[in-house]
Amino acid sequence: MNSPYKAPSSPVGENRSDTRALSPSPARVVYVVSNNLAKVSSLLPSNKNRSVLVHTLVKQYGLLDVANPQSARPIHPVPATVEELTRYHSRQYIDFVLDPYNFSKQDDAIPSSTHAEFGIQEDCPAFAGLHKYIPLVAGATLTAANSLIKGEADISICWDGGRHHAQKSKASGFCYVADCVLAILALKRDRINTLGLPPHKSRVMYLDLDLHFSDGVSQAFVSPGGPGSGEPQVLTLSIHHASPGFFPVSALSSLSDPTEESFDPFTLSLPLARGASDATFARMWKSVEAVKHAFQPDYVVVQCGVDGLAGDSYAVWNWSLGSSEGSLSWCVNRICRTWQCKTLLLGGGGYNHPNVARAWTHLTSVAVCSFSSSIATGTVLVSNRSLKSSQVLSAKEALLTKL
């Protein structure tokens, strides 16, 4: 597929001093995008063409205008190397998924049990371009994380990342690469220099807002019984829906119980019932911020899956994007404006693609302090109602003709 999206020019390699301090508002924001990233990410079977739609809408709202100081600075992703991928994934898994021969028409010599061993089946089928997708998506998230580490940004955005179900040696839940885990590992290797104090190991908080439990990330960092005598560097908090048989089935997805012997205070879960709304998030957000204040992270990684928004095909929660207390944009605005942490915003689930484009464009504007009410109400593409496929195509075509 030839991507119709044209990325704006990116001042890659621009020299900036590594101040290691948050800049005054508006925050410095980088946005990871390229023509190739949009093209390859749009091959994902569960979200075909979603990436192109997202990046096109973000660009059309002027949020990537390099001449406008009130926009995000676009940067190109650097594909992850095998060495970077195997900092978490097993070498056997990476060797298998990066070899295009394993998924070609001539792969009959490879037993189906091998595909199953690595999770390349059912919800994670093989697809043309998989060997390009994995290093590029992982590299995009690592590029975003590195911009924070180098002091080039206060907020980094990578909407093609957020693949929170991928396992160490197995694909799962539409996720083929554990980019969230790789980013956390990169951030936790950083050492923070505070004026007048000795350097300390960075602390990273991972907050997952997707409808589905972040099993891949939580399992990567859980320490049954707590972290022992070592200083904890990573805290994961997943806010999700959980019910019998709802994916993913995991013992870690239930409400964290401090009385259990296996309780890890740095691997937390907050399952919400069907119908969770803005009011639900408003009631429990003080608890989220209490966790943040107790942990005092240097970095926060936020997985902004939007399959919990009203209008998504899952139809489980009734969460809204708008600006009311407890809405998704309200929560993200609180993080970006009041938490005083370097922030990495990632994508995730979301299967009503026009609503996903609308949501992530809105959150991009929140990050760069340039919110316009027209993003919420001005066009049919971003309206609250669900759109028919014909309307989606017409809106997409209208956008692309302006590029």
**Terminal Cα distance for the chain, rounded:** 18
Determine the Cα angle at 40 with ends 37 and 42, to 5°. 100
Q: Residue 402 corresponds to which amino acid? A: K
**Radius of gyration (C-alpha) of the chain in whole angstroms:** 20
- Whether 165 is catalytic is yes
DSSP per position, 211-230: SS--HHHHHHH--TT--TTS
The distance of Cα 267 from the centroid of its chain, to the nearest Å, equals 18
Distance CA 382, CA 358 (A): 5
Torsion of CA 346, 350, 355, 360, to 10 degrees: 0
Distance CA 93, CA 87 (A): 12
pLDDT for the residue 229: 52
| pLDDT tens over the chain, length 403 residues | 455 566 665 543 333 333 445 655 456 999 999 999 999 999 999 999 999 999 999 999 999 998 887 899 999 999 999 999 999 999 999 999 999 988 876 555 566 778 899 999 999 999 999 999 999 999 999 999 999 999 999 999 999 999 999 999 999 999 999 999 999 999 999 988 877 778 889 999 999 999 999 999 999 999 876 666 567 899 999 999 999 999 999 989 999 888 888 889 999 999 999 999 999 999 999 999 999 999 999 999 999 999 999 999 999 999 999 889 999 999 999 999 999 999 999 999 999 999 999 999 999 999 997 444 344 433 323 333 333 434 334 434 433 333 3
DSSP category for residue 399: H
DSSP category for residue 222: -
Q: Which of 53, 56, 34 is nearest to 402 (CA)?
A: 56
Active-site position among 55, 165, 212, 362 = 165
Kind plus residue range of the DSSP H or E element containing 289: helix 278-295
Catalogue all structural domains in the chain, each as residue range(s) with its CATH number.
29-400 (3.40.800.20)
381: its two tokens: 């593409």
The distance of Cα 314 from the centroid of its chain, to the nearest Å, equals 19
Determine the Cα angle at 205 with ends 200 and 207, to 5°. 170
